[in-house]
Amino acid sequence: MDSAEQSALTEALDRLWARFIPQIEERVAVLESAAAALNSGQLSVSQSEAASAAAHKLAGVLGTFGLDKGTVLARELEIEYSRVGGLDPAGAGRLIEMVAGLRAMIESHK
């Protein structure tokens, strides 16, 4: 790929990022809310399901933008929120840290 093609690809990805960032941030907010709810012992089944779905969608999209570590974190979060029998509130701190790391990666990519 020559430099003109590379430049065009970079510009196209930048436009896509600008288009999808509101959805990406919304999905991270769902994960933050679920982690906070778990931390307070108030996580509902529907919140857990929404968090799992949000994490799944993030895992799919972040790699497209070169955020491979974000994809890994999102997959881990998806697995956590998909646990049969629910999550242990004692693990909320770890989930909060994972989501904070995900947000930081996304913020630094802007």
Band the pLDDT of 84: cuts 50, 70, 90: low
H or E element that contains 79: helix 68-81
Residue 85 has pLDDT above 80, yes or no: no
Q: Are 67 and 106 in contact (CB under 8 A)?
A: yes
Q: Are 59 and 71 in contact (CB under 8 A)?
A: yes
CB neighbours of residue 49 within 10 Å? 13
Domain spans of the chain, in order of start: 3-109
Query: What mean pLDDT do residues 13-41 have?
Result: 93
**Domain 3-109 classified CATH 3.40.50?**
no
- Model-level pTM? 0.89
